[in-house]
């Protein structure tokens, strides 16, 4: 009875809420905050990060070019090269850079890490009452709740003075790795009948090292594993103000609400499969390939990829996950960097055949795209194609791929939040037009 009524309400809703593409076009509505040529509508300015994947000519046509990503004006490849030579705490240095606009000096880094260590502890009652009790089957949902619960530990949760915002940012950065791993362990215990194992973080470890330490039953990891996880956190750390979860931080922060509400909202945005959940979809797609064909046979792999393009295979949406990006056209600089390290890790793990499969997905998707859509069609591998593969080699469970993405963005979301509160000061409020059943605008 109840389900029948719900179905009837669904039919009623569809009848009274359908809006045609013609209505959107007639009123020049920029759906998804995108211009007609696919470029983003300019809604703000930022000094934190920038993304470039094309130029626009005088006629408004997008001209593809090699992708570029900048953190505070520094190209990501140069930043990775610089931090790679220094070997340790690359992610911590990156977070300092994003928050405060400069690569930290040795003293600044020492104080930054010392503060994070000081704030790392979670009270036992917090772990028991807010994490272990009633854990969600979805880690991202659990993280949202846990972040909101940190509000209760803050003596000045609603204060938006700069010094307090910085203090809250460092507190979240410090606690988030433990929140992530403990939420994962609680979920496994409650929903998948696994043993509950809680490891405390190690004081001298970096964030990447502590994640591997707390995740693994035996606490063991190799230097290369920690180095590559550190790298993934660095290349995911920032992507300009226009990506959905960062823009969410701007929108929510413009109301002057508290930091915990803002970060929780950004986590909720990132949870969506059209945003942060894409790397999990890559894993599912590869597993589907292995189930339904022999993807190590190049001819059969091409046939399968063509079937996806034609909406006949996998989820029948015509999308090859890990390929294509809203901004990048010819290349995603993050994917270029990670692909090299993925090959190195695959060699250590004796998984070069698997690496070759992902590399072939990239190569053949480009070829098939041009065959089906014309020689001017450009599509590149995005970072999700190789991040899921690397996570798998690191024995990181697929249900924390996206939570790790959230961890990488904590500093950036807070940096954009502070920028919104201190610089823009305007409540973000876009316009919607109300139309009748004939598409005519109300008064």
Q: Quick: pLDDT tens for 182-204.
A: 999 999 999 999 999 999 999 99
Residue percentage of the chain with pLDDT more than 70: 100
The 10s digit of each residue's pLDDT in 201-229 is 999 999 999 999 999 999 999 999 999 99
| Confidence bin at 443 (pLDDT 50/70/90) | low
How high is the pLDDT of residue 37?
A: 86
Predicted confidence (pLDDT) at residue 64 exceeds the cutoff of 90? yes
How high is the pLDDT of residue 62?
A: 87
Q: What is the mean pLDDT of residues 133-158?
A: 96
Q: What is the mean pLDDT of residues 59-70?
A: 92
List b or e across 6-41, with b for residues whose CB sees 16 or more CB atoms inside 10 angstroms: eeeeeeeeeeeeeeeeebeeeeeeeeeeeeeeeebe
The 10s digit of each residue's pLDDT in 76-131 is 999 999 998 887 899 999 999 999 999 999 999 999 999 999 999 999 999 999 99
How high is the pLDDT of residue 165?
A: 98
Predicted confidence (pLDDT) at residue 39 exceeds the cutoff of 70? yes
Distance CA 82, CA 150 (A): 35
Cβ-Cβ contacts under 8 Å for 442 (sequence gap 6 or more): 433, 434, 435, 436
Residue of 57 and 334 predicted with greater confidence:
334
Distance CA 122, CA 174 (A): 10
Distance CA 85, CA 88 (A): 9
Distance CA 16, CA 12 (A): 6
| Confidence bin at 38 (pLDDT 50/70/90) | confident
**CA distances from residue 167 to 115, 118, 227, 258 in whole angstroms, order as listed:** 9, 12, 28, 13
pTM score above 0.85: yes
How high is the pLDDT of residue 220?
A: 96
Asked about 384 being catalytic, the answer comes back as yes
Catalytic-labelled residue, pool 325, 376, 416, 424: 325
DSSP bridge pairs for 74:
71
Residue with tokens 């999990």: 280
| Confidence bin at 397 (pLDDT 50/70/90) | very high
Q: What is the mean pLDDT of residues 12-19?
A: 93
Predicted confidence (pLDDT) at residue 60 exceeds the cutoff of 90? no
| Confidence bin at 1 (pLDDT 50/70/90) | confident
Q: What is the mean pLDDT of residues 379-391?
A: 94
How high is the pLDDT of residue 280?
A: 82
Catalytic-labelled residue, pool 384, 416, 436, 438: 384
The 10s digit of each residue's pLDDT in 324-333 is 998 999 999 9
How high is the pLDDT of residue 290?
A: 96
Distance between first and last Cα of the chain: 40
DSSP secondary-structure letter at 40?
B
Asked about 239 being catalytic, the answer comes back as no
Cβ-Cβ contacts under 8 Å for 362 (sequence gap 6 or more): 322, 323, 381, 385
Residue percentage of the chain with pLDDT more than 90: 90
Q: What is the mean pLDDT of residues 428-439?
A: 91
Q: What is the mean pLDDT of residues 379-385?
A: 95
């Amino acid at each position: 009875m109840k389900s029948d009524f719900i179905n009837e309400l669904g039919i009623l809703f569809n009848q009274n809420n359908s809006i045609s593409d013609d209505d959107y076009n007639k009123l020049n509505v920029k759906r998804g905050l995108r211009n007609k040529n696919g470029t983003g509508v300019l809604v703000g300015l930022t000094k934190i990060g920038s993304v470039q994947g094309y130029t626009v000519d005088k006629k408004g046509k997008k001209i593809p070019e090699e992708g570029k990503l900048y953190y505070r004006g520094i190209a990501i490849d140069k930043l990775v090269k610089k931090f790679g030579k220094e070997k340790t705490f690359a992610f911590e240095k990156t977070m300092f850079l994003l928050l405060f606009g400069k690569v930290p000096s040795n003293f600044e880094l020492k104080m930054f890490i010392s503060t994070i260590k000081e704030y790392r502890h979670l009270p036992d009652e917090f772990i028991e009452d807010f994490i272990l009790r009633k854990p969600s089957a979805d880690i991202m949902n659990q993280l949202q709740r846990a972040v909101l619960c940190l509000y209760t530990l803050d003596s000045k949760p609603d204060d938006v003075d700069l010094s307090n915002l910085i203090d809250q940012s460092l507190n979240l950065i410090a606690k988030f790795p433990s929140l992530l791993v403990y939420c994962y362990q609680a979920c496994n215990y409650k929903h998948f009948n696994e043993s509950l194992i809680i490891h405390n973080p190690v004081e001298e470890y970096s964030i990447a090292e502590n994640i591997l330490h707390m995740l693994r039953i035996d606490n063991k990891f190799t230097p290369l594993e920690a180095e590559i996880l550190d790298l993934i956190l660095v290349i995911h750390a920032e992507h300009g103000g226009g990506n959905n979860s960062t823009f969410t931080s701007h929108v929510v922060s413009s109301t002057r609400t508290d930091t915990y509400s803002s970060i929780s909202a950004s986590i909720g945005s990132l949870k969506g499969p059209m945003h942060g959940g894409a790397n999990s979809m890559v894993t599912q797609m590869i597993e589907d390939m292995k189930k339904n064909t022999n993807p190590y046979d190049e001819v059969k792999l091409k046939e399968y990829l063509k079937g996806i393009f034609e909406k006949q295979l996998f989820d029948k949406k015509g999308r090859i996950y890990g390929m294509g990006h809203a901004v990048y056209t010819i290349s995603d600089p993050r994917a270029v960097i990670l692909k090299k390290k993925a090959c190195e890790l695959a060699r250590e793990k004796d998984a070069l055949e698997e690496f070759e499969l992902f590399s072939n997905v990239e190569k053949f998707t480009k070829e098939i795209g041009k065959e089906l859509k014309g020689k001017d069609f450009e599509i590149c591998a995005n970072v999700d194609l190789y991040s899921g593969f690397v996570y798998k080699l690191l024995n990181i469970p697929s249900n924390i791929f996206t939570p790790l993405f959230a961890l990488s963005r904590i500093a950036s979301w807070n940096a954009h939040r502070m920028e919104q509160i201190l610089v823009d000061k305007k409540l973000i409020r876009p316009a919607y037009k109300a139309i009748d059943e004939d598409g005519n605008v109300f008064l």
